[in-house]
Structure 1
Amino acid sequence: MYLRTIHALSVVLLIAVPRAIASQPCAQFSPSPIPIQQLPDYFPPHTSLDATTLLDTEAMRQTLTFYPYIIDGRAFPSLSSIFTTDAVANYSAPLGVLKGLSTIAATLEQALASFPGTQHLLGPQSVRICDSKKAISVTYYRAVHFLPQNGTVGPGDIVGGDSVLYAYGQYQDTWEKRDGLWKIVYRNLVYMGPFVTGTN
């Protein structure tokens, strides 16, 4: 009898836990950053995906993949492919909260102008479709900032440079589908460690 009771409780827990995880509302994902300990509550493993969900998820992943190309290639006007015009991005200190696409683009351009080059590597990534017009995602990243040599900044200064600045973190993004396109309406950049200076 005791073993049967334990088995029954285990079955109930196995059913209840995924439901509790899946019930975490998307609305609580922003504007405040989500502590890393809570991320599993927002992105439980998918048990099944229909064709529409797969297509929407892939569209957002392709958009996120485009982001490093824009940043590292200094093609800041192309950020309009990533963010809505009224987007808000909390890039944390020292950049802070940036309101509007034009502010986001101008601030990132100015902040990265002091580095002769950067490379952003995207890591683990999860996307959750909330409804037909809203979604959330989290993407790990590592950003390498090449430090200027001899006090000058320019593309040629990367060659032979041995000093770099590493940043480790994650992008927590809230998406909306407008005019058939998924774009970010709110971004929280969450650092997962201190800036680290090293060598190539």
Structure 2
Amino acid sequence: MGFHHVEGQTTAEFLVTVTDPNTRTAKPGSVAEGIKSPEDLASAFKASQYYKSILTEIETYNQEQAGSATPLPSDKYRLSYPAQVRECLRREFHLVLGQRRVYYVKWLTTVILCLLCGSAYFDIDNTAQGAFTRGGILYFSLIINGWLQFPELFDAHTNRPVVERQGETAPCHPYESSDGGEY
């Protein structure tokens, strides 16, 4: 259609740039040069050869699937539930293997704290005064073990990269047109 593709730009970045009227650039004399609104972009795409090609591919695929003896399953999950659980466990195992040192330090810290709390718990009186100390030791051991799990919160985000395109400077809100009205 005539949009300029920047060197080193991924396909996803290019498509986001095409939908942003402030950052897209068009080659002179191309169809893209006349596109100013989302409606113009949609109508230009529907008039292009690529749209016709996609419709042809979809129709061909639907005919092949209709005539096939074993069509693809309609279920969106291709794996059974136990297989999904197994794959999630395998992924988590590989994540743990990639950060062995963090887990070794955590396990060593847990063992040391268990020994310290156990030794403090060992020689406590069986009176009411000892009950207060027992409660304090149990509270301390629970809080420390909770704090040791805190680094796993960061793993939940650092191992799953997300492209953040929304916010105050987002190029286009999905429910608003460029003139401020809703679609």
TM-score class, shorter: under 0.3
TM-score normalised by structure 1 residue count: 0.21
More helix by share: 2
Bigger Cα Rg: 2
TM-score normalised by structure 2 residue count: 0.22
